[in-house]
Structure 1
Amino acid sequence: MSSASGQGSLQAPGWQARYRFSGILQGVVFRNLNGVGGRSGWRWLFIIDGIITLPIAFYGFLVFPDLPQTTRAFYLSEEERTLAYERLDEKPEHGHGKRAFSWAAVRRVFTSWRWYACTLLFGISGETECIGSNNIMGQWMKAIGGFTVEQIDFYPSGLTSVAIASTLVCATVTDRTQVRWPVLVYMSVACIISAICLLVWKAPVGLKFFAFYLSGASYAGQATTFAWANQICSNDDFERAIVLASMNVCNGAINAWWSLVFYPATDAPRFRKGMIAMICVCVATLGITWVVYTLERREWRRGLKQIQKDRKLEEDGSRIEETKGEHLEKQAQGPNV
């Protein structure tokens, strides 16, 4: 498993597991602590969240290793630190190593297709997660009735389980094939099917459960999209840092208003606008995926042609040097008598 995809495939399920843990924790707190000490369940939940968060914050502060060039992590041996550093290709022509900020570097990033394509890809594809991130399943269960508070907290965890499984499987497969685009196709098609099923309000309850759980496939694209961007920008550390940060910023900027417009509380529990928007987002994701794939292939072919051209020039240069050497050798021998 490659470093970029491997780390992403482990981090993303961790982010997703928090939603599953959160739902289970809410159910357990409500069942056991609601009314205890005169406090309602949601108040106890905030107290427990605070107790959990502080140790994790200290853990992160003490354990995160920093950069390979500057790490002082106590759990890494000198050999491991050296290995981590030597794995970085420091050749300037490859764009690696420390680089000072310059307007030339900024111009290089913003005149390339990579920044625009990768940023737009995650900015749009990230909105396929809205069914899970807005807890639409929980709101639907509460609206139709027949479910206890604990069930409303527990059952949506199945969506998170699908998300974790999809992320791990897709990351493993794409690492072996080094082909990223099929994951985005898979999650887009899955979310289109899910949205269509949820648009049909009178569909059977079992079909609705299937649709909600299937929408968990949307989370598979997160790790893969960042791995793809890492792969595309692998020859330029400065560009890669800008692109990855911009992908997060773009998605966050869209998230700030997307749910307010397409998933307002007044639309619960049907969210008709949201389901139509979901289908549109998935179609847009398929289109942008095709654009990124096409541009990457074009750049790869150009690079391959340049390598072949450079190799031919080297071979021609070697031949010329060899011919010169033979000519000088004949001159040194003098004329034949």
Structure 2
Amino acid sequence: MVAWGIVMTIMAFVKNFSQLMTARFLLGAFESGFAPGIIFYLTKWYKKSEQNYRISLFFAGAAIAGAFNSFLAFSITSLDGKFGLNGWQWLFMIDGVVTVIIAFLSYFIFPDYAETATWLTENERKLAIERIRLDTGESAYSTHFDKFQIIQAFKDLKIYIFMVIYFCIVVILFSFAFFIPSIVNGLGFNTVISQLLSSPPFIFGCISSIIIAKLSGRYKVYGPYLIFNLLISMMGYILLIVPSDTTSLKYIGACIAGLGIFACIPTSLTWLTSNLAGDSKRAVGSAMMIAWGNIGGVVSGQLYRSSDAPAYKTGHSVALSLLAVAVILSIIQYYLLNRANKYKLKDPERFLKGLNEEEVMNLGDLHPSFIYSL
């Protein structure tokens, strides 16, 4: 993140298009490891039932930022002309400098693992390690680099299903976050009011993320809550698509869409990480899911075209279709994981047949003692 912040600061002083594209490439390259790194880090400290709440808090920060970014951007760009800098230069520079400072401090504050946390007592360190070990399962617990686990990650069908689900969600979320001012403006509000009315959907999304995270953690299920939120978001997009002259109904549809879609990101990520055992496999699996999902950011920018204004039916219809795909795949994933659990409980020896002791210890989430979270 230090490198990301430095590049962001440099972008404030870029002079030509080629330099801008180079800086933008480096910005994306340095930022790419941030989200999967955060998700992986949280899985090292919290049990499966505790992860969704923590991941939701992380993404709730992004939702709150989305709610207030227009206001902050307006405030910072008001510095236009100060010290000979344009408003956009101030925006890049302040964002970059703050990121560098926070990243530098976090290096000294956050330990890699409980094993290396100097601020924990010996008993606290043992407790932190054992609670994760017991939650994961002795045979599935692993903190060392394991080439076998990495290979298993690339061969695991459930990771690829999660990747497609996450891709659908990200396309919808990014397009919603980017174009909500335009969507609201298309309902008949002026530019200023549109910016103000763009905040409530983010706030509702933040609240729903926390509530769903608490409930899913308490009952230790994720698939049903993910499907529920996808269906809620579908209701919102249906209200946006259905022909109506009622502006309030359309705006309620936008709020409902945000209410459902924001909670889908942390819930889908937690559903994945809680079903991967071994640090190497969990790290690679999370990176695969987030990397593939980020391609959705490229697609999302094409959903809402100015030629479709003010109704944006094409964008809403594509979003609704992707939600339907995500629901179907989530149901399939739930069925496959539930079936695998039944096999593990019914005949655990079938998973160990023909394997030596070392191979058994490297099974990770394939080990019969590891029960998948539904």
The Cα shift of 1:189 comes to 1.7
1:141-290 to 2 correspondence within 5 Å? 141-142=184-185, 146-147=189-190, 149=192, 151-200=193-242, 202-216=244-258, 217-233=260-276, 235-256=277-298, 258-290=299-331
Query: Is 1:81 matched with 2:128?
Result: no
* 1:174 match: secondary structure: helix
**Paired residues of 1:20 and 1:157 also in contact (CA < 8 A):** yes
Q: Which moved more, 1:119-128 or 1:212-221?
A: 119-128
Indicate how the Cα distance of structure 1 residues 146 and 184 shifts in structure 2: closer, same or farther if over 3 A, else same.
Answer: closer
Indicate how the Cα distance of structure 1 residues 59 and 266 shifts in structure 2: closer, same or farther if over 3 A, else same.
Answer: farther
- The residue type paired with residue 273 of structure 1 is T
Aligned alpha-carbon RMSD (Å): 3.1
CA distance in 2: counterparts of 1:98 and 1:111, whole angstroms: 20
**Paired residues of 1:187 and 1:221 also in contact (CA < 8 A):** yes
**Paired residues of 1:16 and 1:164 also in contact (CA < 8 A):** yes
TM-score between the two structures when normalised by the length of structure 2:
0.70
Match of 1:15 in 2: 62
Query: Is 1:125 matched with 2:160?
Result: no
Indicate how the Cα distance of structure 1 residues 238 and 35 shifts in structure 2: closer, same or farther if over 3 A, else same.
Answer: closer
Indicate how the Cα distance of structure 1 residues 143 and 308 shifts in structure 2: closer, same or farther if over 3 A, else same.
Answer: closer
**Paired residues of 1:183 and 1:220 also in contact (CA < 8 A):** no
CA distance in 2: counterparts of 1:189 and 1:203, whole angstroms: 24
**Paired residues of 2:169 and 2:322 also in contact (CA < 8 A):** yes
Q: Which moved more, 1:288-297 or 1:222-231?
A: 222-231
Q: Which moved more, 1:138-147 or 1:111-120?
A: 138-147
TM-score between the two structures when normalised by the length of structure 1:
0.77
CA distance in 1: counterparts of 2:207 and 2:137, whole angstroms: 40
Percent identity over the alignment is: 24
- The residue type paired with residue 82 of structure 1 is K
Residue ranges of structure 2 left out of the alignment (5+ in a row): 1-46, 352-374
**Paired residues of 2:230 and 2:323 also in contact (CA < 8 A):** yes
* 1:170 match: secondary structure: helix
- The residue type paired with residue 247 of structure 2 is V
**Paired residues of 2:150 and 2:284 also in contact (CA < 8 A):** no
CA distance in 1: counterparts of 2:104 and 2:267, whole angstroms: 29
* 2:153 match: secondary structure: helix
Match of 2:51 in 1: 4
**Paired residues of 2:174 and 2:297 also in contact (CA < 8 A):** no
Query: Is 1:68 matched with 2:110?
Result: no
**Paired residues of 2:180 and 2:198 also in contact (CA < 8 A):** yes
The Cα shift of 1:248 comes to 0.4
Residue ranges of structure 1 left out of the alignment (5+ in a row): 311-337
Aligned length: 302
Match of 1:316 in 2: none
The Cα shift of 1:112 comes to 3.3
The Cα shift of 1:163 comes to 0.8
The Cα shift of 1:47 comes to 4.4
**Paired residues of 1:131 and 1:215 also in contact (CA < 8 A):** no
CA distance in 2: counterparts of 1:269 and 1:67, whole angstroms: 51
CA distance in 1: counterparts of 2:168 and 2:104, whole angstroms: 34
Indicate how the Cα distance of structure 1 residues 49 and 306 shifts in structure 2: closer, same or farther if over 3 A, else same.
Answer: same
Match of 2:139 in 1: 94
1:114 aligned residue (158, 162, 167): 158
CA distance in 1: counterparts of 2:307 and 2:132, whole angstroms: 52
Indicate how the Cα distance of structure 1 residues 156 and 40 shifts in structure 2: closer, same or farther if over 3 A, else same.
Answer: farther
- The residue type paired with residue 176 of structure 2 is G
**Paired residues of 1:114 and 1:232 also in contact (CA < 8 A):** no
Q: Deviations over 1:3-53 (max 9, x none)?
A: 3223212212112121123123134446x6567677665454344434533
Indicate how the Cα distance of structure 1 residues 140 and 5 shifts in structure 2: closer, same or farther if over 3 A, else same.
Answer: closer
**Paired residues of 1:5 and 1:227 also in contact (CA < 8 A):** yes
CA distance in 2: counterparts of 1:92 and 1:186, whole angstroms: 29
Q: Deviations over 1:257-280 (max 9, x none)?
A: x12432345544433221111111
**Paired residues of 1:114 and 1:243 also in contact (CA < 8 A):** no
Match of 2:343 in 1: 302
* 2:114 match: secondary structure: coil
CA distance in 1: counterparts of 2:269 and 2:67, whole angstroms: 23
Indicate how the Cα distance of structure 1 residues 65 and 154 shifts in structure 2: closer, same or farther if over 3 A, else same.
Answer: farther
- The residue type paired with residue 178 of structure 1 is K
Match of 2:71 in 1: 24
Match of 1:291 in 2: 332
Q: Deviations over 1:108-154 (max 9, x none)?
A: 334433222222222223323144322x22113445665353x3333
Q: Deviations over 1:267-303 (max 9, x none)?
A: 4443322111111111101100111100110011011
